[in-house]
Amino acid sequence: MIPNAVQEIIRWQTPLSYMRRTVTEDTELFGHRLKKHDMLALWYISANRDESVFDDADRIIVDRPNARRHLSFGYGIHRCVGARVAELQLVTLLEELAKRRLRVNPVAEPVRVLASFVHGYKHLQVELTRY
């Protein structure tokens, strides 16, 4: 279940909030006219909570059947080249914690990165306990 849980965690805590793109030619998107050079913000954090894609989207459900449909690392040719490494690191971390029967418990309020682009933590103090 760990590989799927990792996808669900990444969906729920996307590393980047958004990505900006520039329209290259006049077009229409979902009924909206876009002109060449218009700028769009692709809100990954919003897409990953889209109720039309993810049932009960504001909850972490580790066995969610479509957890991999998240857009946390972008999509297509714009997918993060380090996505697989990040996924493998998280899978390895959770597997090793499980082997050792360790649980991670926050012991203080997290300090978030002060940026609109990065959706992450600067500092999170934790303790490891056995279960």
Calculate ∠ Cα 35-31-79, nearest 5°: 70
Indicate whether 54 belongs to any domain.
yes
In a domain, 112, yes or no: no
pLDDT of residue 116: 87
pLDDT of residue 119: 86
pLDDT of residue 31: 96
User: Domain containing 95: what range?
Assistant: 2-101
Helix (H, G, I), strand (E, B) or coil at 34: strand
pLDDT of residue 78: 85
Q: Is residue 117 part of a domain?
A: no
121 domain-assigned: no
The pTM assigned to this predicted structure is 0.85
**What is the model's pLDDT at position 8?**
98
Q: In the chain, how many domains are there?
A: 1
Q: Is 120 inside a domain boundary?
A: no
pLDDT of residue 72: 95
Give the pair of three-digit tokens for residue 121. 């933590």
DSSP 8-state symbol, 104: E
**Domain contains 34:** yes
Q: What is the pLDDT of residue 89?
A: 98
Mean pLDDT by 10 residues, the chain (131 residues): 97 91 95 97 93 96 97 90 96 98 97 91 96 95
Answer yes or no: is 107 within a domain.
no
Domain presence at residue 125: no
Q: How far is CA 56 from the centre of its chain?
A: 16
